[in-house]
Structures are given as structure tokens and as C-alpha cells.
Amino acid sequence: MPGIALIERTSQLWKLRLGMAGALLGTAVRIGASEFDGLASGHSMALGFGGLFVALAGVVYLCIAVRCPDCGARWFWLMASKPSGDPTHWSMSSQACTAIHFTVT
């Protein structure tokens, strides 16, 4: 995918992996807490809310941390907040920063 290649060329692949790991881990904990019957209901609820917090923290981290090294545009935030017809909408198929058309060779 061009967007992942752009993130990799700007040395931000670790940020993508960290944010995705947090979102996936938190989601797995949230689902696991609701499916596991061996916990008391209070513990299950606390674990579920903890998983939700970790998942949301992973998504927020992606929206804040992955950015254009030249203009500072937050690429995941642009993907989440702009409609796909907007010229500043960034997507995983983008080969450059849509804010200033910054490319890394």
C-alpha cells in the first residue's frame, strides 16, 4: 500500500505498529472480558473498560503521532476527519502528504 510505504519512508512505521497494537490489544481484551465467564461481573466490567481505554488510546495515538515530517499534518486525523472527496483527505492509498504534496524518495 502506498500509504504504508510513505509512513515507512518517513521512519514512522513503529508509530503505526504501536498504535495498531494498542487498538487490537484493547479490542481483544474488551471482547475477552465479555466472553470469559470465570471472572466476577465487577472484574469483567473493569477489564472491559480497561480494554476499551487501551483501544481508544491506540487510535488517538495514531491520529496524533503519525504526521508529515515537513508540514506536520496528522495523516490519520485527516483520514478520520475529512470526507474522501476533500482534497486534503489522506488515505492509505496516498503516495504523498495531501496537505502540501510532500513526497519522500
- Render pLDDT for 4-49 as a digit per residue (tens, 0 to 9): 888 888 899 999 999 999 999 999 998 887 777 666 666 778 888 9
Specify if 80 maps to a domain: no
Q: State the pLDDT at residue 5.
A: 84
Angle at 92 between CA 88 and CA 96, to 5 degrees: 55
Owning domain of residue 19: 11-68
Cell of 39: 471472572
What torsion do the CA atoms of 45, 51, 56, 58 make, to the nearest 10 degrees?
A: 170
What's the mean per-residue pLDDT of the chain?
84
Specify if 22 maps to a domain: yes
Specify if 31 maps to a domain: yes
Specify if 37 maps to a domain: yes
State yes or no: pLDDT of 97 exceeds 60.
yes
Specify if 45 maps to a domain: yes
When divided into structural domains, the chain yields a total of: 1
Residue pair 53/23 in contact by the 8 Å Cβ criterion: no
Specify if 19 maps to a domain: yes
